Amino acid sequence: MEDLYDFTITYGLIPKVLPEFKQITAGGALLGTGIESSSFKFGLFERTVTQMEIITGEGSVMTIDKNKNADLFYSFSGSYGTLGILTLLEIELIEAKPFVQLSYHKITDYKTAVDKIAQISKNTEIDFLDSILFSRRNVIIMEGKMVGEFPKNSTFSKNSQKNFPSLKTQNTNNKQTPQKIKPTLSLRYFWSKWFYRHVFFVTNIDSEKEENDKGIVHKDFLPLKDYIFRYDRCAFWMGTFLEKDTLKYRLLLGWLRSSYVLYRMRKLWTARNFEEKLYTHDFIVPHENVEGFIQESIQKMFVHPLWLCPVTTNTSNVENDQIQNIIFSISDSRNKINQKKNSNLGKIQDDLFVNVGIYGLPDVVDFGVPYRECFDIVNKYMENFACFLNAKKFLYGSSYYSPQSFWRCYNKNVYDKIRSKYNAHLFPDIYQKIGNCGLRSKLSNLNKNEK
Ligand SMILES: Cc1cc2nc3c(=O)[nH]c(=O)nc-3n(C[C@H](O)[C@H](O)[C@H](O)COP(=O)(O)OP(=O)(O)OC[C@H]3O[C@@H](n4cnc5c(N)ncnc54)[C@H](O)[C@@H]3O)c2cc1C
């Protein structure tokens, strides 16, 4: 994602949705779900993809889009490489500005915060929206707006004006004097403060901050790149489980806490350390069910902080008969809710979902049962509970689904039809690939095969 940012910004543009870990690949973001704080406007990363080039199970190269092999185009996202190999992507970009003005709202009750997120998400003036739940009584909502102008003679400006004349018109029409912006926060260096700690500090400890009439307790200006990758160092707060956030430590070992290193460690140590202890999962929950989901996850695991990121389904451009082909995404959940309109699952609201990121060591109660068993039980419980609420779990981590429970969440008929139509049987079935403690069973199978 960092390469993608560095390249597109030379044209004064950025992708509509740019997942916030630098090392995530475009393929991983599409095939394994990608989200960012601009998703409240544009949906998941997949909703910004306009064309793909893939290699099918038969070995042929195919270009697919919403008009050409539309069923494969829509089912490809979130399919974890089980329908084909992705070789090229075309995505939508938007005009960038050099800084982000970030405003922090402090909400002292998580139920009110969930409503407030929905309310702010309707504001078309802002570019970014996400939130950190530090505790039930301390939720910080952050709304961001891109501001400032690139200097007239910068490469950004020249490239963008040469290649995108429509942007040139917009820029030159803007007669206002360019705003002079002085960043108040920089996250660029490996010794820089971890972003979530900064948020906690300026909204809780720095008591001089008074709430203004819009309920904003603090404002920051930071460079766009620092904002986009703000959670990269420490991978949200996952680095905290290894060491403390002190300047001395950051100076000595901070360079080890980029998401790149943490991700590699997570992948290498999956079976032994992380996956059996550290709960790292994201669930995309229909807005009307988020409150219940948060309450249950806190009660069952007592993990804090939680990351709350609103996301819209954004399927207005998708033909009705294609919606059912978006098998592994949230529009499928919305379909199910609409079908159950008369059940008492909760009232139907627009198109808003909220991603709840739970990253931490669960405080699972042990009644004489080993931690590992409690951990497995909680994992299974959360999967089933999410399915009951029509939420979708990202499948990047360990899954504990039985085949029955897995296929209750996803449409097997459509998936099998697409696999057979496009001869994808060379690739593993998605349940085989990620289901039932995917990584653990994969590792043990690997070991057996090696023997
Ligand atoms: C703690 C944590 C926090 C996270 N937070 C966020 C977040 O804030 N925002 C966000 O968007 N995501 C987040 N993620 C999830 C992350 O985006 C996904 O795990 C993503 O898939 C990772 O991308 P990758 O490039 O590492 O993919 P990989 O892990 O390498 O691949 C993911 C899957 O896609 C398949 N695949 C990859 N490329 C191709 C290809 N070219 N063709 C076919 N198949 C392919 C792989 O086989 C694999 O099954 C988080 C993950 C963790 C662990």
pLDDT along the chain (451 residues), means of 10: 93 94 92 94 95 94 95 94 96 95 94 95 95 95 93 65 56 51 82 88 70 78 95 83 62 63 63 67 94 93 93 86 85 69 48 93 72 83 92 87 89 94 93 66 45 41
| Domain carrying residue 214 | 99-230
What's the whole-model pTM score?
A: 0.87
Residue at 244 is within a domain: no
- Please identify, among 73, 95, 117, the residue that sits at the C-terminal boundary of a domain: 95
> Distance, CA 29 to ligand 1 centroid (Å)?
5
- Asked if 111 and 89 sit in the same domain, the reply is no
In this prediction, residue 331 carries a pLDDT of 73
- CB distance 57 to ligand 1 below 6 Å: no
In this prediction, residue 101 carries a pLDDT of 95
Residue at 173 is within a domain: yes
Residue at 257 is within a domain: no
- Asked if 29 and 144 sit in the same domain, the reply is no
> Distance, CA 357 to ligand 1 centroid (Å)?
14
Residue at 242 is within a domain: no
Q: Which of 12, 82, 4, 111 is nearest to 49 (CA)?
A: 4
- Asked if 307 and 440 sit in the same domain, the reply is yes
- Asked if 146 and 60 sit in the same domain, the reply is no
- CB distance 133 to ligand 1 below 6 Å: no
> Distance, CA 82 to ligand 1 centroid (Å)?
14
- Please identify, among 47, 76, 95, the residue that sits at the C-terminal boundary of a domain: 95
Ligand 1, residues 396, 399, 432: which to mutate, most atoms within 8 A of Cβ? 396
Q: Which residue has tokens 């690939």?
A: 433
Q: For Cα atoms 130, 149, 177, give the angle at the middle one, nearest 5 degrees.
A: 120
How many independent structural domains does the chain possess? 3
> Distance, CA 81 to ligand 1 centroid (Å)?
11
- How many angstroms separate the first and last alpha carbons of the chain? 38
Task: In whole angstroms, give the CA distance from residue 314 to residue 328.
Answer: 15
Ligand 1, residues 25, 273, 311: which to mutate, most atoms within 8 A of Cβ? 25
In this prediction, residue 114 carries a pLDDT of 96
In this prediction, residue 440 carries a pLDDT of 47
- Please identify, among 203, 230, 257, the residue that sits at the C-terminal boundary of a domain: 230
- CB distance 260 to ligand 1 below 6 Å: no
Task: In whole angstroms, give the CA distance from residue 347 to residue 194.
Answer: 38
Residue at 260 is within a domain: no
CATH number at 20 reads 3.30.465.10
- Asked if 179 and 205 sit in the same domain, the reply is yes
Q: What are phi and psi of 226, to 5 degrees?
A: -60, -40
> Distance, CA 46 to ligand 1 centroid (Å)?
12
